[in-house]
Structure 1
Amino acid sequence: MRRGILHEKDFKPQFSGHETFPLRYGWLKKVFDAVYELEKWGKKEETRELFLSEAAISKFGVGKNMVASMRHWATAAGIIVEDDDKHIVTTDLAKLLLSDDGLDPWLENPSSVWLMHWQIAAKSPKASYIWLFSHYNNSQFDRTTLVSLLIELCSEREEWRGVAEATLKRDVECLVRTYVNKPSKSESFTEDQIESPLAELNLIQSLNKNDTFQLRRGDHPSIGIGLFLFTLIDFWKRYSDEARTLSLESMTYEPCSPGRVLCLDEDAVAERLYEIEKFSSNVLTWSETAGLRQVIANKPLKKIKELDFLKLDYKNTNRRKAA
């Protein structure tokens, strides 16, 4: 049986909208500030035209296509959403993270970047990203192979069959640029090679002069316990929201699970669970009884707020304020 968000009946894939631009530094904060300012001043109606008017070009300081890309990425990352009346509003997650007195307005903490990756590769309509991290079972790939496999995926769903190959090629190229540093023109590494904050995660490694790539599965020490617990509860609620137990196997191998999306192997996932009682204030318990390795929720999932776990990674963090 096909599992995961890609195979949900109401899932609507998105292979365009980025205008070929990867997520750039500062974009999410700029979009959040622009929308949140209108919200604070009761100008909700103006959010409908915020990214469409000519004034948007001067407001954001970029061209028309890049303005559209900024909106695209902010939506994919769960920073803004469109409500039923077509107003653009900021999310609770965005307010917690990106407001001027938020946890990390400038995404300086690694957990913030991991969080954006999670939002995009586990929860957004960006099908290419979800497919690569949650359904592709090999470690290496190239652009041509990935496009071919996405064409095959689209052919399986009648409502997806209209997606052009050229669109998929542009989407795959944008994906690569989002997660892989640009090739160096010299032997030494420079910051100019980093085009997107998601490239800092080193989830995809370039091989053979940028023609072949490898997913780096294993352990990633920069993943904080707060971020991990956030993804665990977030996945659990979508995977089986009534269940009070979740197996190590499910949280490692199921599509859109922490193990798949964060590229963690089973040992790396298990290692983060050994002290889960302490970090969750006994809300969660790790059990290895009778050969079953699983997490037990000590209260209903709907009463567990994953955003509270996220805050664990930002304690005693000095946050740089906007000038």
Structure 2
Amino acid sequence: MKFDTILPGEPMFDMAIADGQASYRFSGHETFACRYAWLPKAYRAIAADPGIFFDEDAAMVELGIGKNMVRSLRFWVDAMGIARPAADRTHTITELGHTIFGAEGCDPFLEDTRTLWLLHWNLSSAVTPGLFAWHYLLGAWPYAEFSRSEALAAFLRQSQRLGYSHSSVTLSQHLDVFLHTYQSARSSRVGIEDSLDGPLVELRLLQQTGERRGEAGRREPVYAFRKEPKPEISNDLFAYAVLDYWDRVASGEKTLLVRNILSAPGAPGQSFKLPEDDVRARLEALSRDRRYGLTYRPSAIQGLLTRDTNQKASARAIYKNEAILNG
């Protein structure tokens, strides 16, 4: 069934995230996607003054960006897991932030694709609360392609279904930030700061596949996620994502259905847009490596993954000991 044959509010479409997270973030990015230079700047600024982002005038001078961009950067620092705000109006840099950007950081200039996939994982799998566009388009969109007008119409329906009262302007801006995070926004008509693409554009995760005519009669781009094996996502990084997801959604369980890892919103299969065969092959590889404490039991119907809690394998242990960004 094609998108344009589904009526607004039809259950097949709106049930996509009915059982999803309790709350979502639709704003806070001030309509700016994260820029390449922002995260290193933010790390250095917070390391020097943990309260810098709670003094916007000082942050504007220190970072060399406008007030709205300061607020946007504060949003992205938190959303990508580089630093966390504290009750005393300061930021605490996370282990991830130090590992990437510290004095002996493994990738202070964001040159390693694994780092970018890890930042993408933090955005697409966050649950406290999640970013709506990421959760919905990456985890619950039921079609192979989408146009901006189709996605925006769905955003409006889902926002209302979840009890929000966001305006079409807010939802439109949120959608555009998602698109600009993964699609180049370079233009000769904008200023130098605005012309710089964000780091996640390099992942080539979201691609324009063509054009079609929208409801207003105008032709608009059609997008699709690059769903294919991605060897740049190492098995260590994939294992980290699997165990991180497990800790978030079923920390007390010893078993997890493979279909959850494949297709649940915020799961590795959906967040990384990996085909089923690739996910299963990766799980087989992880099962053969005793470091991870995982046993994969394949099945034509669904399959099962078992976690050996006695081995104390965890996302944090893999991150610290297996050097997923240094291997």
- Take 1:101 and 1:220, find their aligned partners in 2: how far apart are those partners? 28
Whether contact under 8 Å (1:4, 1:254) holds in the other structure is no
The residue type equivalent to 2:205 in the other structure is L
Q: Distance in 2 between matches of 1:118 and 1:181?
A: 20
Contact 2:36–2:196 (CA under 8 A) maintained in structure 1? no
Please list every run of 5 or more consecutive structure 2 residues that lacks an aligned counterpart in the other structure: 1-13, 189-193, 212-219
Offset, 1:73: 0.9
Aligned to 1:60: 63
Q: Whole-Å Cα distance in 2 between the matches of residues 4 and 243 of structure 1?
A: 23
* Closer, same or farther: CA 280–114 of 1 in aligned 2, 3 Å: farther
Check the 8 A contact 1:3/1:255 in 2, yes or no.
no
Q: Distance in 1 between matches of 2:224 and 2:27?
A: 24
Q: Does 1:202 align with 2:204?
A: yes
* Alpha-carbon separation, structure 2, partners of 1:265 and 1:200: 20
Deviations 1:27-79 (A, max 9, x none): 112112211233xxxxx5xx1x5353312112001111111111111111011
Q: What is the DSSP-based 3-state SS (H/G/I as helix, E as strand, rest coil) of the residue aligned with 1:50?
A: helix
Aligned mates of 2:240, 2:18 — CA distance in 1: 18
The alignment partner of 1:237 has SS state of: helix
Q: Which has the higher contact order (CA 8 A, sep 6+)?
A: 1
The Cα shift of 1:230 comes to 1.0
Q: After superposition, what is the alpha-carbon deviation per residue over 1:145-168, rounded to whole angstroms, capped at 9, x for unaligned? A: 11111111111122x12x111011
Q: Does 1:236 align with 2:249?
A: no
The residue that corresponds to 1:148 in the other structure is 153
Pick closer, same or farther for the CA change 1:273–1:36 going to 2, 3 Å: same
- Does the 8 Å CA contact 1:6/1:130 hold for their aligned counterparts? no
2:178 and 2:289 mapped to 1: Cα distance? 34
Q: Map Cα deviations across residues 65-118 of structure 1 (whole Å, 9 max, x no partner).
A: 111111111111011212233332112222222212123222221111001111
1:127 aligns with 2:129: no
Q: Specify the alignment match of 2:313 in structure 1.
A: 304
Q: Could you say if the C-alpha distance between residues 54 and 84 of structure 1 is closer, same or farther in structure 2, counting changes exceeding 3 Å?
A: closer
Q: Answer whether contact 2:259 2:302 (CA < 8 A) is retained.
A: no
Matched residue, 1:245: 255
**Residue correspondences, number:** 297
Q: Distance in 1 between matches of 2:207 and 2:324?
A: 26
| Range with bigger deviation, 200-209 or 168-177 | 200-209
Q: TM-score, normalised by structure 1?
A: 0.82
Name the residue aligned to 2:162: 157
- Report the Cα distance in structure 1 between the residues aligned to 2:100 and 2:28, rounded to whole angstroms: 24
Give unmatched runs, 5+ long, in structure 1. 39-43, 186-191, 317-323
Query: Are positions 1:275 and 2:285 aligned together?
Result: yes
Percent identity between matched residues is 26
Change (3 A) 1:278 1:109: farther
What SS does the aligned partner of 1:36 have?
helix
CA contact (8 A) 1:225 1:312 kept: no
**Which range is displaced more, 94-103 or 252-261?**
94-103
The CA deviation at 1:14 is 1.8
The alignment partner of 2:92 has SS state of strand
Cα distance in 1 for residues equivalent to 2:186 and 2:271: 25
> 1:94-109 counterparts in 2 under 5 A?
94-109=97-112
Determine the structure 1 residue equivalent to 2:3. Answer: none
2: CA distance, partners of 1:170 / 1:197: 19
Q: 1:17 to 1:259 in 2, by over 3 A?
A: same
Q: 1:267 to 1:200 in 2, by over 3 A?
A: same
Q: In the aligned structure 2, how far is the partner of 1:154 from the partner of 1:292? A: 31
Q: CA RMSD in A?
A: 2.8
Instruction: Note closer, same or farther for the CA distance 1:14–1:31 as it changes in structure 2 (3 Å cut).
Output: same
Of the structure 1 ranges 224-233 and 274-283, higher mean CA displacement relative to structure 2 is found in 274-283
1:261 pairs, out of 271, 274, 282, with 271
Normalising by structure 2, we get a TM-score of 0.82
Residues 20 and 290 of structure 1: CA distance in aligned 2, closer, same or farther (over 3 Å): closer
Contact residue 180 and residue 205 of structure 1 kept, 8 A: yes
What is the rounded CA distance, in whole Å, between the counterparts of 1:179 and 1:143 in structure 2?
14
SS at match of 2:130: coil
